A and B are shown apart, each in its own frame.
Chain A
């Protein structure tokens, strides 16, 4: 019992011994934090170079740390895969038969498309080059939806480039360091992507709100959307090329229709960062735009209030 009493006294003494300097330091630091929030809000460029250099410096560490995490996950996946081999095999065989049919259709359409383009003398879209990068940090949550990638300007990544996977659109690059880049997901609060709802060619803006399912804004009120309608990028604004698959509509919700994205954004490991030759249309707060502007973009429907 005496021991406990001693400990209580020790605690109180430490509390008393708290140097008076600390009493000034804590409010000062709180004040500094508050000031940083306000300054960062007023001037978005202020901390951007600091952010890029700190991220670049931390890239090797984050890259190394993210590997064991992903290997553990991969091990789990592998065990699950082995257990499901038989079912998977049956499913894949069926899928393969179906895809072969589609392939034939696609080849026919591709040649027909080429002929029609030839007839119309359509200006070809710029050819795309890409870099595949690994996700090394993911700061999810209700605050921001972005991913840190392990490729930067030295790998040819530039601001405004589109990030995709085999399934569809992921987002775009908005911060680039020498060896790291930050990717704004289409679910982020600041993401606005011009899209088209396919069967009706209805145009809309896909707006993220930090939830898993972004919503469609500025739709024609008369538009009758059905759940399951396919949504692709419209190419307006010149950030993304037209026709990148985004997701399917879920119209059975309160408020604006939501989109179930094709890409499982929370489970990304590798992302393809594509240069469609369109980058540079973004309002660029840090450096002068890249030199790859190929066509004028009348509308830039990307909300630029923070990034």
Chain B
């Protein structure tokens, strides 16, 4: 599955449906992240599906995921999930900026490389969120939930990235 090969595709797309695909799938990822999954222990360590989607699209088609949409999705997610408002858009915007800066290194690399990059960004992002939350709560919040959440997020990334890659192929093409 040479997902890494799509990295460099940045050909213009005309159809509105294709242009909307990254935004719509990111909104779907946010909605999926809000779903009450009744698995034992899941609530303690939910994977950050939103992080996966934003990373995927920033690597493969950053031109089709506008910052304003990202900001709006982040704010809506905070409003609906009951998190401190502003925390998610801040995280997503910083992730996007950081990934964009590193993006040239990802061109024509194997998926394993892209995945390792995701692991690195996830660890930094989740550590940052934990620090922010602890600062807002004025106490150290238990780290274990964040650590397991990060591990699950990293291990589930190939699944979501594969699905998004399929959607990308059908809706946008290889570029």
- Chain A interface residues toward B at CB < 8 A: 4, 7-8, 10-12, 14-15, 22, 25-26, 29-30, 32-38, 40-41, 47, 50-51, 54-55, 58, 61-62, 65-66, 69-70, 73, 135-148, 175, 182, 189, 209-212, 264-269
Contact = CB atoms under 8 A, between A and B. Distances in A.
B9 interface: yes
Nearest to B130: A142
Contact of B8 (A10, A35, A61, A267): A10
Contact of B35 (A65, A141, A143): A65
Nearest to A47: B85
Nearest 4 A-B pairs (CB), nearest first? A36-B86, A140-B43, A139-B81, A7-B8
A26 B95 CA distance: 12
A33 B9 contact: no
Given A58-B80, A211-B144, A138 B37 contact: yes
Q: Which of A11, A34, A144, A211 has the most CB of B within 10 A?
A: A11
A140 B68 contact: no
A200 B132 CA distance: 40
Say whether chain A's binding surface is mostly helix, strand, loop, or mixed: helix
Q: Which of B9, B38, B40, B94 has the most CB of A within 10 A?
A: B38
Contacts of A33: 71, 74, 86-87, 89-90, 93
Contacts of B103: 11, 15
Nearest to A146: B82
B81 A137 contact: yes
Nearest to B129: A143
A73 B104 CA distance: 42
Contacts of B119: none
Contacts of B141: 142, 189, 209-210
B9 A142 contact: no
A37 B34 contact: no
Say whether chain B's binding surface is mostly helix, strand, loop, or mixed: helix
B170 interface: no
A14 B86 contact: no
B128 to A, nearest CB: 12
A7 B10 CA distance: 8
Given A58-B80, A211-B144, A26 B45 contact: no
A35 B144 CA distance: 29
B86 A40 contact: yes
7 contacts: A29-B93, A30-B97, A34-B90, A135-B36, A139-B34, A147-B36, A210-B142
B90 A141 contact: no
